[in-house]
Amino acid sequence: MVIQNKKIAIVGGGPGGLTLARLLQLKGADVKVYERDINKEVRVQGGALDLHTESGLAALEKAGLLDEFKMHYRPGAELTRVVNNQAEIYADQHGTRTVEKFGDKNHRPEIDRGPLREIMLNSLQPGTVVWDSHILSIEKLQDTWKLVFQNGNTVIADIVIGGDGANSKIRPFVTDIKPFWTGITMIEGSIKEAETTAPVIHKLLKGGKIFAFGNDKTLIVSSKGDGSFGFATSFKTKEFWDKECGIDFKDNKQMLAWFKQEYKEWSSIWYELFENGNTIFIPRPQYCMPLNQKWKAQSNITLIGDAAHWMPPFAGEGVNMAMLDALQLSENLTSNEFENTKKAIANYEKQMFRRFAIVGQGTLFNTEWMHKSKALNNMLSMFSPNILKQGLFISKMVLSVYVIPTIRKVFGLVPKQASFYDERIDLNKMGI
Ligand SMILES: Cc1cc2nc3c(=O)[nH]c(=O)nc-3n(C[C@H](O)[C@H](O)[C@H](O)COP(=O)(O)OP(=O)(O)OC[C@H]3O[C@@H](n4cnc5c(N)ncnc54)[C@H](O)[C@@H]3O)c2cc1C
């Protein structure tokens, strides 16, 4: 294999980085993961994740971790209720959805981020993850890289793989391509002991997911196995809204006031999400890497996951793509098919670019319709037992995701960099 006797440094111990470390270690590679979290006890933020058969689950199977996954996933957590802004249920998968099995194409079992990380960490040789290793930068030496950490440490590696997420420090050493602004800001929240702190939403959630739509806004709530739940609401804003709006996202009173103003058409049922003093809010402005991105492969550095192809989360593909990147890159680096690391990396990147062009298009398609006035109708068409209704929506998607991009490719047209923002949220009017 082309990485014989090479020291590999993976930057970032997210789902992408840890999957890659496991897959490479299974083939005897010398690999370390440098993670900025202080230690493995740091609580992993974010809602539950659904893993897809052809990507996330395929990577877990190759990593020999599918049985472990089956012991920790949460059957039923994927069951969704689609509601309007008054929390009236329009579609409900509880009791109606056929239960799929592992191996079925459409099976999307859910797992919380914490247990997923735990499964991966337990599968690695002791000392593989070097905690408290916040990378500030890297320096190119002759044939190697010097990694420089915030804590003053440095290490030398033969190959660097950036799995350090959306705001990757490694990306600029691979490409000067920048993500573009999509026009959407998301605010993520996390509620502990939901049964007592947000009892009405907890009941509505029923251990699954809620998708709520209204007034060009989206609210997704997702249950977690520890009795907490994660939620994320998204809406159109101008770029840098999170910095310029004047809201202190740590001040829950301000957050509630903001929600009441900005979501005034929404039922007061949702206030539960914002009222509790313990809720933590994280603003997440939504960017996307250009769908036609490409760069020249190098022999000793590459990117996986959000570092490679940051996109909004509205197609639920981010983790799945990060894990599939890890699978494809590990196969290339450990196969005897390639003459050298550069060819192995170039082949991986080619597959990744092609895949992202399609998945990213689907993601932007969802991002757009989910923040339009007909979002609820569109979601219901997707869930509809009426084949005609569902077919119409799927045709729209196929046109947007496959047909138009193919026409663009044939005629050499540049894909549009969608920004869905078309109106300004006036904070003065909101009294904040
Ligand atoms: C609200 C929300 C909901 C989402 N829902 C879904 C979903 O349902 N399904 C789905 O598939 N995806 C979802 N995503 C997207 C998904 O979380 C990401 O695509 C996925 O986590 C990417 O994995 P990764 O390993 O590439 O990066 P990350 O998960 O971002 O991991 C990067 C790791 O690198 C570490 N790191 C960062 N910088 C440094 C540094 N300088 N030095 C050292 N370490 C560093 C971080 O601490 C982290 O552990 C969602 C995202 C958000 C924000």
Query: What is the per-residue pLDDT across 366-424, written as a single tens digit (0 to 9) for each?
Result: 999 999 999 999 999 887 777 777 788 788 778 877 787 778 777 777 666 666 665 44
Give the pLDDT of residue 100: 73
d(CA 276, CA 139): 45
Closest CA relative to residue 296, chosen from 346, 255, 246, 233: 346
pLDDT bin (cut points 50, 70, 90) of residue 31 is very high
d(CA 291, CA 182): 12
Give the pLDDT of residue 407: 80
What does each C-alpha distance from 239 to 380, 422, 423 come to in angstroms? 30, 11, 12
Phi, psi of 269 (to 5 degrees): -50, -35
Residue 368: how many CA atoms within 13 Å on its side-chain side? 15
d(CA 168, CA 170): 5
Q: What is the mean pLDDT of residues 193-217?
A: 95
Q: Is the CB of 281 under 6 A from ligand 1?
A: no
Report which protein residue has its CA nearest ligand 1's atom 7. Answer: 316
Q: Indicate the top mutation candidate among 319, 321, 329, 330 to test ligand 1's pocket, ranked by most ligand atoms within 8 A of CB.
A: 319
Helices (H), 149-293: 194-197, 199-205, 241-244, 252-262, 272-275
For 71, the enclosing helix (H) or strand (E) is: helix 66-72
Of residues 247 and 429, more confidence is placed in: 247
164 Cα–ligand 1 center, Å: 8
Q: Hey, how many other C-beta atoms are within 10 angstroms of the C-beta on 64?
A: 12
Residue 428 has pLDDT above 80, yes or no: no
d(CA 299, CA 159): 8
Residue 242 has pLDDT above 70, yes or no: yes
What are the tens digits of pLDDT across the range 147-192? Answer: 999 999 999 999 999 999 999 999 999 999 999 999 999 999 999 9
For 257, the enclosing helix (H) or strand (E) is: helix 252-262
Q: Is the CB of 14 under 6 A from ligand 1?
A: yes
Contact 183, 418 (CB under 8 A): yes
**Structure-block tokens of residue 417:** 């960099």
Q: How, if at all, do strands 301-303 and 159-162 pair?
A: parallel
Contact 162, 12 (CB under 8 A): yes
Q: Is the CB of 35 under 6 A from ligand 1?
A: yes
- pTM of this structure: 0.93
Three-class secondary structure of residue 1 per DSSP: coil
Report which protein residue has its CA nearest ligand 1's atom 50. Answer: 313
Residue 19 has pLDDT above 80, yes or no: yes
305 Cα–ligand 1 center, Å: 8
Report which protein residue has its CA nearest ligand 1's atom 21. Answer: 319
Residue 251 has pLDDT above 80, yes or no: yes
d(CA 105, CA 124): 29
Residue type, 320: N
Contact 404, 350 (CB under 8 A): no
127 Cα–ligand 1 center, Å: 22
